[in-house]
Structure 1
Amino acid sequence: MRALLLDKKRFPRDKPCGGGIRYGVLRRFPELADHLRRTVALHEIRRVRMESPCGAAVVAELEAPLYLTFRRLEFDAALLDLARALGVEVVEGARVVAIERGADGVAVRSVDGRAFAAPMVIGADGVNSIVARQAGLSDGFTDDALAIDTMEETDLAELAVADTETMYVAYGYKGCPGYGYVFPKRSHVDAGVGFLLSFFKTRLRGTPYDHHRRFLDEATAKGVVSGRSNRGNFKAYRLPLAGPIARTFADRVMVCGDAGGFVNSYTGEGIYYAMVTGQHAGETAAIALEKGDFTEATLSRYEARWRREIGEELADSVRVQRRLFSNPGLADSIIRAAASDARLCRLLARVALGEEALRRRKLEMAWRFFRAALRRRIGRYLSLIAA
């Protein structure tokens, strides 16, 4: 099996990204764990500070690491080096502008006129995927299906964090449909804020950097970070937040990662899902090559595989996002309940960061939330009587 990898950039290159992934990636991809530990400055996160729109906050702390952070510059370079070592041919600086499917294969054309031929194509070309569009799998994402996210990766000497083992997440930041985050890394901090794109365009004033800087100023006032935002490190980008597209395969084509909408809708995590879908796409491609059959009938196995592994999780993330983003009061109630129940607090953190399945813990979390809310009401009632 021969593989050709096309990338529009030249490596090493950075990419707009929070640079975080669930700790479980090391269990899911054990064959990569040692390589990543050797080549990437992985930073373990054991605590998460979760804040609601009203400012209520709770810190979840676990003995085992919850999350890994890293520089995307290093992470992507490490994976590319491994791909090369395994025999993948890499062509850098090839911006794809068209694909043409035929009876004998696929022709992929780059903006500079080069053409590449293959029996099939796996499109991992991001939120603006040319592959998905030209294969008839997507017309692009609407504003309601996108977030505008900001990020800034700055050296800790310039923008420091109060606690290098604690990540900070503000759900429903400022009562808006979105979030803010601060991710400590080994020698940097990554911070940013995100809003539904439709909300940003119609309801908010100012540039993305205005909101980014305001979030960091507020995080500084709360003692989460110290220092100042560096405008030179700032980037804004779009992120799909409505779940996977309706179909992720066609004759001779599969799409994965952001191109297929594989992003957690309320945390914004995408790297893990890109890796999972990428593996399933690659293994399905191997089956197609062995059979000499690149039709939808064979490639449909790809969608069946990823749905079995992450379909339920992604569908749940869409439902959670729609409820949280449309009801800031719900986020307030959840955080307050977690503050009074250590078990609920830990479960909330583990579910949010992908270490637990929501459906497996849903009943217990609902019961604990109800019990905590009831206790608060009884407490307020008793206080009124005592007064």
Structure 2
Amino acid sequence: MHYDIAIVGAGPAGSTAAKFLSEGGMATLLLEKAAFPRDKPCGGGLQMRILHRFKYLKEYNLIDSYSSAIQLHSPSMKHHIHFQNDTPLQAMVLRKTFDENLVKLATRCGVTLKCGSKVQNITFKKENIQIFLSDGTSEESRMVIGADGAWSTIAKKIGMKLDCSHIGVCIYTEYPMSKKTIHQLYGHQHQVHIHLQPNGLAGYGWVFPKKEHVNIGITEFRQAINPALEKKNLQKHFESYLQILKKHDLMPKHLAKITTHGGAFPTRPVKSLVADRVLLCGDAGGLANPMTGEGIYYAMCSGEIAAKTAIKALENDKTDAYYLKRYQREWNREFNLDFILHSRLSKRWGKNLENLIELASNDKKLIDIICNAIPNPKGIQKEKWKIISRFIVAYCTNRLRKYVTPS
């Protein structure tokens, strides 16, 4: 069969793009190298803004659970910032079921799904793109969307590859746990814990309680590390992190050891998200938050924007790079300024954040501003300048207090 568009990769970016394209009347093929259900390296925590933009996630019950309390811990564990609200501050998903359900939504809209074969190459013909699969078959389409992850085959094919000096690496595991134990450890609010720079790591550790699981992991941001220094053994860091959690009663003392998983994510967008007849979405385009590694929201947004651009391009028979740059412009309009700010802030992971957390923990107004911003439909980014200005006020007040207080 001949398709209007083929999407390589059926994660949140690919599935979202496929859904919008099919709803827009495009004959859509969705290609995935693995069979569902399959897992992905991810904590599975979502900012609440994703539910405001993609309301069908809640309508189709794709959310596993919610957390209405978050606690940030300083590197020394001496200082803490506690956020809590009557409404949820964070939504939780299990990637194995979340991704599969996103694909089901796409196929219900008429998307053709083909799993179990990896895309090995694409060639450009006069009218179409031929896609060669590992099972020896091939498909043809007028356009291609690359949503095939950080090490994207499609991105490489159009000369856009991941900058390995700007990546995050993570190790995590997801423990099955009874509702009773989760309630005992994290309370009825399912309190999230974020540990900044545990054991000197240039990143953070997380504890994400879910309905009957708890996701625990650490991540390191390579752009914040001097490349001349020896790389840390993340597996050993993870094991040390588990000991910290046990010491502070944030996980059972005698939890059975289970397999850990690792992964990498981009912290810098590729130079161009478009080429003739090709668009890049999600991690394939380097579209993950440079400071936190958050990827699902940006993946789904990029999938939606790419789909809307592709529909207009196909309807007008204008699939050249010049026309498709509308996608890049729309992405930049929504997210570029935030990404520039987060990229600069991400380099702070290489510097001690102890004083910053101590400062923030003593400023109730700052905590209230952040807490009210977290569930905002546009996310914490909506209030970023208010938060930054309050940080400056708190810093200056603290310096002045030290200056005028006799020693």
Q: Given the alignment, which residue of 196, 203, 218 partners 2:230? A: 203
* 1:120 paired residue number: 143
Q: Distance in 1 between matches of 2:280 and 2:54?
A: 20
The 3-state SS of whatever aligns with 2:75 is: coil
**TM-aligned CA deviation for residue 316 of structure 1:** 1.8
**Cα gap change, 1:356/1:85 in structure 2, threshold over 3 Å: closer, same or farther?**
closer
**1:185 matched to which residue of 2?**
210
Query: Does the alignment pair 1:47 with 2:47?
Result: no
1:171 corresponds, among 183, 187, 196, to: 196
The separation in 1 between residues aligned to 2:299 and 2:226, in whole angstroms, is 26
Bigger RCO (CA 8 Å, 6+ sep): 2
Alignment equivalent of 2:113, drawn from 71, 90, 111: 90
What's the secondary structure of 2:114's corresponding residue? strand
Change (3 A) 1:335 1:351: farther
Match of 1:162 in 2: 186
Does 1:63 find its partner at 2:65? no
Q: TM-score, normalised by structure 2?
A: 0.84
Q: Where does residue 110 of structure 1 map in the other structure? A: 133
Range with bigger deviation, 16-25 or 353-362: 353-362
Counterpart selection for 2:174 from 153, 157, 178: 153
Partner of residue 243, structure 2? 217
Return the TM-score normalized by structure 1. 0.89
Matches within 5 A, 1:263-302: 263-302=288-327
- Matched-pair contact (CA < 8 Å) for 2:48–2:374: no
Tell whether the 8 Å contact from 2:63 to 2:91 is kept in structure 1 after alignment.
Answer: no
Asked if the contact 1:45/1:167 (under 8 Å) is kept, the reply is yes
**CA deviation after TM superposition for structure 1 residue 352, in Å:** 7.5
Q: Distance in 2 between matches of 1:228 and 1:203?
A: 33
C-alpha distance in structure 2 between counterparts of 1:225 and 1:298, whole Å: 52
Q: Structure 1 counterpart of 2:361, which letter?
A: A
Counterpart residue number, 1:80: 103
Q: Which moved more, 1:348-357 or 1:83-92?
A: 348-357
Q: What is the CA–CA distance in structure 1 between the aligned matches of 2:236 and 2:275, rounded to whole Å?
A: 42
Q: 1:328-375: per-residue Cα shift (whole Å, max 9, x none)?
A: 1xx22332222112231243456678854547442x334432443355
Whether contact under 8 Å (1:162, 1:226) holds in the other structure is: no
Check 1:11–1:152 CA distance in 2 against 1; reply closer, same or farther (3 A cut): same
2:235 partner SS: helix
Residues 269 and 104 of structure 1, relative CA distance in 2, 3 Å threshold: same
Match of 2:351 among 327, 330, 347: 327
Identical positions, percent:
28
Amino acid at match of 2:280: V
- For 2:260, the equivalent position in structure 1 comes to 234
CA contact (8 A) 2:146 2:280 kept: yes
Letter in 1 for 2:53: R
Deviation at 1:107, TM superposition (A): 1.1
Does 2:361 align with 1:339? yes
- Using the alignment, how far apart are the partners of 1:200 and 1:77 within structure 2? 39
Corresponding position of 2:12: none
Mapping 1:244-255, distance limit 5 Å: 244-255=269-280
CA contact under 8 A between 2:68 and 2:88: conserved in structure 1? yes
1:141 aligns to what? Answer: 163
Please give the per-residue CA displacement for 1:109-159, whole angstroms capped at 9, x wherever unaligned. Answer: 1222221110000000001000001012x13321x2111101111112498
Q: Which runs of 5+ in 1 are unaligned?
A: none
Residue aligned with 2:258, SS? helix
Q: Cα distance 1:90–1:228, how it changes in 2: closer, same or farther (>3 A)?
A: farther
Measure the CA separation in 2 of the matches of 1:273 and 1:126. 13
Moved more, 84-93 or 149-158: 149-158
1:200–1:107 CA distance, 2 compared to 1 (3 A): farther
Provide the aligned C-alpha RMSD in A: 2.5
Quick one: distance in 1 between partners of 2:150 and 2:207? 23
Which range moved further: 291-300 or 337-346? 337-346
Structure 2 unaligned spans of 5+: 1-25
